[in-house]
Structure 1
Amino acid sequence: MILIKNGTLVRPECMKTEQKSIVIENGKIKEIGEGYEDADFEQVIDAKGMMVAPGLIDVHVHYRDPGFTYKEDVITGANAAKKGGFTTIITMANTKPAVDNVETLAYLLEKGKETGIHVIPAAAISKDLKGKELVKMEELKAHGAIGFTDDGMSLMDEKLVVEAMKEAKRLQVPLSFHEEDPYFIENSGVNKGAVSEKLGLGGASAIAEDILVARDGMLAFETGCTINIQHISSRHSVALVKLYKEMGASVFAEAAPHHFSLDETAVLEHGTLAKMNPPLRTKEDQQAIIEGLKDGTIDIIATDHAPHSKEEKEKPFTEAPSGIIGLETSLALGITNLVKKGHLTIEELIAKMTLNPAKLYRLDYGTLEPGKCADVVIFNPDEQWTVDSFVSKASNSPFLGATLTGKVHYTICKGDVVYQN
């Protein structure tokens, strides 16, 4: 048995914090209480000055495995997750081969078992991510796919989208959408505006996102399917999601830490390390994302962890791939830029990184309730640290060198300590 004592419990299931101890036994949270004796436990963790929360859940991660393991693989990606306090990871399907078949899905599930955390693959919506033909969703779900997404690619065929939504509703699984219409993108990775003009790049207009969010929110309302708008970046898209929620559509939205922490001017400072799809947009867009997080329009914080090699990111802007890593900095960016600045309470932040992601994917995680899986993160919300290295294979982050507040000290998954600092 493990005793975690003297910490402040953050309980998103009841949106409160409390000074109590946690007892873990046989991989489960046995009880929450007070007055325990250290001698009665095999391991005692003194969490004085720290917060104890459910293990974090990231619904949007690229592990590049199979096919691009020079960038990242399931094992190294899981190590990055543990350091960041994550115990559950939903992996994206844009691997090589894509996760559009049972064999690739089984490979990921087996490799995930070696990590010590929950690594759960999402499968592709369309075969080979080409947006032409629907995968065998029922078969893939039966073999362990948690949901479906063509992330990295946008679905432009409305007929296919409706077909996928109807099947997903029947199977009671969510669909997650990367919303960028390529017609409105001249050069990806930078917002169409003042910065792209200064750099002599055409950029990616916000309407590329807005038009597909408008379409898919309406189709979700029509079909009754649960959808997730991935890495929302535009203020107009935030307004659309709010409207669809008010209409009664089952629409979730996720924001990446980079989109609430930075704006398009970061590209001038960090170059390709601030290149991502969708891009960093204006200060007004950044503020709208923060407001969306505050008022509940945006339910989830997800990293869109997207590793690339140093050599790839050192190419000219138009040739370098889009994306940054995020697992090791996500919690700290939330504390630094949302909690410490008064935008969210710590309970609200943790709910967007645990309880709400679990609701989207119907997972029985994300709480500290007795009887639940003992997935726990212990962190100091006031400790400052400098981002100087990563356990990920990649280091493509604009936050390298930044000083952040909030440091993970323990990650516990299924009752085992999988990370300790």
Structure 2
Amino acid sequence: MRIALTNIERIATGDIERPLAEGGDIVIEDGRIQSVGVPADTADCDVVIAAGGMIAAPGLIDSHVHITFGDYTPRQKTVGFLESYVHGGVTTSISASEVHVPGRPRDPEGVKALAVAAMKCFLDYRPSGMRVHAGSLILEPGLTRADLEQVRALGVWMVKAGFGAFSNANDYAPLVRIARELGMVSMVHTGGSSIPGSGGIWAENLLAINPDVSYHVNGGPTAMPEEGFARLVHESDIALQLCTAGNLRTSLLVTRQLLAKDDLHRLLIATDTPTGSGIMPLGMWYTISYLASLGVLPPELGIAAATGNNARVFGLNSGIIAPGKDADIVLIDACDGGSQTDALSGLLNGDIPAIGAVISGGVPRFVGRSRNTPATMRKVRVVKSTIIQNFSSETH
């Protein structure tokens, strides 16, 4: 399928080094971005979408989603939450481990089987077009290098520390080191305990474990002692993930510290949902709006922390609007009836953006209006389609 997005006013690129670009047209072919900013020849396009002067941004990458199996969360007894997140502009979710599977196993063979099953279930299952990277191995006592090598050979590429039955958090360190040697991305719960049986993990534990990502460094939901943030910023190169379901004050604190160190490429934005905080289809936008409206971070940099930064840390070919990248794109605008004139100004004002279209994997998922946001100020429409589909979401 060849798609052209035309009349884009500006592009929030997702690239932390170059977060804004001039608008123009974007051409997509066979699921990848072919050109950006160059006038499109629409004659040979299957679909042409006129953006009406909206802003294009990468589809959001939520790097902390508590999936189980299918589009269902037993924690909130909700069906279809991933589809709802797509209507929030999230085109990729990364599993924070399948820790909320009812009665989940805790022995080495069981956690290996759970990770492999989850990973394989989502290889071809894309709820409403969302790509889900599932199967993060929950690290438990008794796992060995051979176990990690076994699941790595089967396709599992993530590990999660913080929910195992270790009496001391530092005991995760040897398994995390092995995982990193095997090319697996390692994530560690940070802050106070979040489920019965788990314990708090503080900065000194993170420095000893040395994972790729400190999950919800601002608390999930309870933050670690304040002095630990400076230690993580200045004594490590760990990526620091802010989650909407965490502590807002420490989100501002860690962002300011990374800015002062000129180390913003380590900042990740995610949600840590569904958990006790519930379903949050617009959670990432709220975090971006908090950082922007409180004067901490320009909105285009917040978008980059929610897209390109996540993609780089997790090794994904998405998150940035550039030729050759996966075509995951959202069209955003100011909310109709609001006080601002475009999506970025709205975020600076503390408003979430209105979402006019979502394209994931090079396929339009809806064009016209998200069911989770107010209407856009401008109008996006399909002006050409050789496919028997108008991609409308007017029925929602």
Normalising by structure 1, report the TM-score.
0.69
Question: Residues 214, 372 of structure 1: CA spacing in aligned structure 2 closer, same or farther, 3 A cutoff?
Answer: same
Q: In the alignment, which residue of structure 2 is the partner of 1:358?
A: 311
Question: Residues 165, 63 of structure 1: CA spacing in aligned structure 2 closer, same or farther, 3 A cutoff?
Answer: closer
RMSD over aligned Cα atoms: 3.4
SS in 2 for 1:20: strand
Q: In the alignment, which residue of structure 1 is the partner of 2:3?
A: 2
Any runs of at least 4 consecutive aligned residues in structure 1 with deviations exceeding 4 A, and if so which?
A: 66-75, 150-155, 234-239, 292-298, 381-385
Q: In the alignment, which residue of structure 2 is the partner of 1:415?
A: 362
Aligned identity (percent) is: 21
Offset at residue 241 of structure 1 (A) = 4.3
Structure 1: 5+ residue stretches without partners: 189-203, 262-282, 308-321, 386-402
Answer yes or no: is 1:215 the counterpart of 2:216: no
Question: Residues 76, 145 of structure 1: CA spacing in aligned structure 2 closer, same or farther, 3 A cutoff?
Answer: farther
After superposition, give the CA deviation of every residue in 1:255-283 in whole Å (9 maximum; x if it has no partner).
1124365xxxxxxxxxxxxxxxxxxxxx5
Structure 1 stretch displaced more, 141-150 or 74-83: 74-83
SS in 1 for 2:138: coil
Q: In the alignment, which residue of structure 1 is the partner of 2:228?
A: 240
The separation in 1 between residues aligned to 2:152 and 2:286, in whole angstroms, is: 34
Structure 1 stretch displaced more, 339-348 or 27-36: 339-348
Q: In the alignment, which residue of structure 2 is the partner of 1:93?
A: 98
The separation in 1 between residues aligned to 2:246 and 2:6, in whole angstroms, is: 35
The separation in 1 between residues aligned to 2:204 and 2:36, in whole angstroms, is: 45
Answer yes or no: is 1:254 the counterpart of 2:208: no
Question: Residues 348, 414 of structure 1: CA spacing in aligned structure 2 closer, same or farther, 3 A cutoff?
Answer: same
The separation in 1 between residues aligned to 2:44 and 2:70, in whole angstroms, is: 45
Offset at residue 66 of structure 1 (A) = 7.2
The separation in 1 between residues aligned to 2:131 and 2:40, in whole angstroms, is: 30
The separation in 1 between residues aligned to 2:335 and 2:70, in whole angstroms, is: 38
Structure 2: 5+ residue stretches without partners: 339-349, 370-396
Question: Residues 409, 144 of structure 1: CA spacing in aligned structure 2 closer, same or farther, 3 A cutoff?
Answer: farther
The separation in 2 between residues aligned to 1:240 and 1:71, in whole angstroms, is: 30
Say if 2:358 and 2:364, in contact at 8 Å, map to a contact too.
yes
Q: In the alignment, which residue of structure 1 is the partner of 2:375?
A: none
Residue identity matched to 1:369: A
**Residues 2-401 of structure 1 aligned to structure 2 (within 5 Å):** 2-7=3-8, 8-13=10-15, 14-65=18-69, 69-71=73-75, 76-91=80-95, 92-94=97-99, 95-96=101-102, 97=104, 100-102=111-113, 105-111=116-122, 113-115=124-126, 116-126=129-139, 131-134=140-143, 136-150=147-161, 155-158=166-169, 160-180=171-191, 209=200, 212-220=202-210, 225-233=211-219, 239-247=227-235, 249-259=236-246, 261=248, 285=250, 287-289=252-254, 291-292=256-257, 294-295=259-260, 296=263, 299-307=267-275, 322-326=276-280, 328-382=281-335
Residue identity matched to 1:301: I
The separation in 2 between residues aligned to 1:219 and 1:69, in whole angstroms, is: 30
Offset at residue 299 of structure 1 (A) = 0.8
Question: Residues 107, 217 of structure 1: CA spacing in aligned structure 2 closer, same or farther, 3 A cutoff?
Answer: closer
After superposition, give the CA deviation of every residue in 1:287-316 in whole Å (9 maximum; x if it has no partner).
424535655566111101115xxxxxxxxx
SS in 1 for 2:98: coil
The separation in 2 between residues aligned to 1:217 and 1:100, in whole angstroms, is: 25
Say if 1:228 and 1:253, in contact at 8 Å, map to a contact too.
yes
Question: Residues 408, 253 of structure 1: CA spacing in aligned structure 2 closer, same or farther, 3 A cutoff?
Answer: same
Say if 2:93 and 2:132, in contact at 8 Å, map to a contact too.
yes
Count residues with an aligned counterpart. 336
The separation in 1 between residues aligned to 2:34 and 2:130, in whole angstroms, is: 19
SS in 2 for 1:324: coil
Normalising by structure 2, report the TM-score.
0.73
Question: Of Structure 1 and Structure 2, which has the larger fraction of its residues in helix?
Answer: 1
The separation in 2 between residues aligned to 1:170 and 1:379, in whole angstroms, is: 40
Question: Residues 81, 242 of structure 1: CA spacing in aligned structure 2 closer, same or farther, 3 A cutoff?
Answer: same
After superposition, give the CA deviation of every residue in 1:311-343 in whole Å (9 maximum; x if it has no partner).
xxxxxxxxxxx33222x1124313432224432
Say if 2:180 and 2:186, in contact at 8 Å, map to a contact too.
no
The separation in 2 between residues aligned to 1:159 and 1:254, in whole angstroms, is: 20
